[in-house]
Amino acid sequence: MSPPAQPGVPGGRGSKGPPARKLLCMCSLSLCLTYLCYSLMGGTGPAALRSPAALPGSAAPGAPRSPTAGPVTAAPRSPAAPPGSAPGPSAAPPRASNASREGAEGTWLRTQLAPGEVIAAQSGAFERDPQESSTTDEELSRAGSPGSRGGGSSSTTPDYGEKRLPQALIIGVKKGGTRALLEAIRAHPDVRAVGTEPHFFDRNYEKGLEWYRNVMPKTLEGQITMEKTPSYFVTNEAPRRIHSMAKDTKLIVVVRNPVTRAISDYTQTLSKKPEIPTFEVLAFKNRTLGLIDASWSAIRIGIYALHLENWLQYFPLSQILFVSGERLITDPAGEMAKVQDFLGLKRIVTEKHFYFNKTKGFPCLKKPEDSSAPRCLGKSKGRTHPKIDPDVIHRLRKFYKPFNVMFYQMIGQDFQWEEEESDK
């Protein structure tokens, strides 16, 4: 005969449910499973906040490593892509938030770089945030229509000659001084340049070379046809496409201190979209840690060395002229002498063509003999920059310094942008 069951013992007549020890065990197991799930999913709970995976340069346990995480490693130069294997155009996602940019545009490392280190970018990363253009589709359509005169150097130029593909291009950079350079070189009688930005090699390539030719002004034998579109310099497919058109095309890049250029870029956007966040907010991935957000186009454009690497796969340095945007203001005649020499032109545009406009703060072309007014850049040029926190400027200078040094070494020319701030 079995002994009577005792109250509180499993199986006994007095048992009314699981004991406290069993409940505690089940709760503990449930918490462990929950913690494990959070860890495997990358962690969004309290455990993730305490985990080193939440810090820059480390990956969450069990998660694939992000392209923006980890230390910088030197990347070997990638071989040039064959001329016929261009990647398709990439869509430009909206700049909604830092979180969405992390996935869609986070191809750049957001940590301070040491000199000589290289960032490996995914194909097409430079084109994810298209630049604004001063040219409207209507202007391009009108210029490219059959029988149009294109964008000649002046409205009084006789309408004769023939339209040719350009032999020289001003390919960048945005807010570097490309418009000032274009207007100055158009004063040369042996140069005809379209005034609008065709954006052929980045946005209108599918329209074909005949459309591009129709956009150009008519020229005589011996004259040079030119155009300028600053976004070419940061467009991944542009070097291959231009090389395919004419491998002896001469290229001009107007560069400017990347920090000043970024602020000028932001100022232009701010004038059109006053509701955008402050420069300080957009410039940082994490302001507290000082992590620069290089996926923002205003910052990314100024990393000249990385963009130039793409061009050197198709064009030798001898076919690329780098013009100082700063010296276009302080010594326009000197910079124009270099441009005319590079293009094989007689030095006709000299100091007598310029005067300094104190109101605008930059040089303007003197009044041509056949015009009633001087040729000065419009009101959209020379905008007053917003006041930027000096600490932000200091951090940006430190960010750009290794890239600037790399750029100087690549082209054999020092623009001395670092001399604006003493080493601290």
Nearest C-alpha neighbor of 152 from the set 236, 105, 97, 218: 218
16 is catalytic: no
Please state, in angstroms and rounded to a whole number, the distance separating the CA atoms of residues 296 and 283: 7
What's the whole-model pTM score?
A: 0.64
Please state, in angstroms and rounded to a whole number, the distance separating the CA atoms of residues 323 and 319: 13
Task: State mean pLDDT over 43-50.
Answer: 35
Residues 6+ apart with CB under 8 A from 10: 19
Task: State mean pLDDT over 340-348.
Answer: 98
Is the pLDDT higher at 317 or at 129?
A: 317
Task: State mean pLDDT over 120-136.
Answer: 41
CATH architecture of 162-261+298-381: 3-Layer(aba) Sandwich (3.40)
| pLDDT value of residue 105 | 36
Burial of 271 from C-beta contacts in 10 A (0-12 / 13-18 / 19+)? exposed
Residues 6+ apart with CB under 8 A from 369: none
**Helix segments in 145-302, DSSP class H:** 178-185, 209-215, 238-245, 258-272, 279-283, 297-300
Task: State mean pLDDT over 160-165.
Answer: 94
Cis peptide before 191, with omega less than 30 degrees from 0? no
Please state, in angstroms and rounded to a whole number, the distance separating the CA atoms of residues 163 and 139: 18
Match 């005649």 to its residue by tokens: 333
Residues 6+ apart with CB under 8 A from 186: 153, 154, 192, 193, 195
| Tokens read off for 352 | 């007598």
pLDDT grade for 159, boundaries at 50, 70 and 90: confident
**Helix segments in 313-370, DSSP class H:** 327-330, 332-342
- Annotated binding-site residues read 175-179, 256, 264, 381-385
pLDDT for residue 360 is more than 80: no
8 A C-beta contact, residue 343 and residue 168: yes
Q: What is the pLDDT of residues 226-261, one digit of tens each?
A: 999 999 999 999 999 999 999 999 999 999 999 999
The amino acid present at 86, given as its one-letter code, is: A
Separation of CA 65 from chain center? 25
Give the strand pairing for 224-228 and 168-172: parallel
Task: State mean pLDDT over 295-303.
Answer: 97
- Annotated binding-site residues for 3'-phosphoadenylyl sulfate read 175-179, 256, 264, 381-385
Please state, in angstroms and rounded to a whole number, the distance separating the CA atoms of residues 115 and 125: 22
pLDDT grade for 185, boundaries at 50, 70 and 90: very high
Percent of the chain with pLDDT over 90: 51
Please state, in angstroms and rounded to a whole number, the distance separating the CA atoms of residues 119 and 317: 22
From the list 175, 228, 285, 401, the catalytic residue is 175
Please state, in angstroms and rounded to a whole number, the distance separating the CA atoms of residues 139 and 169: 19
Among positive and negative, which fits the CA dihedral 111, 116, 121, 124? positive
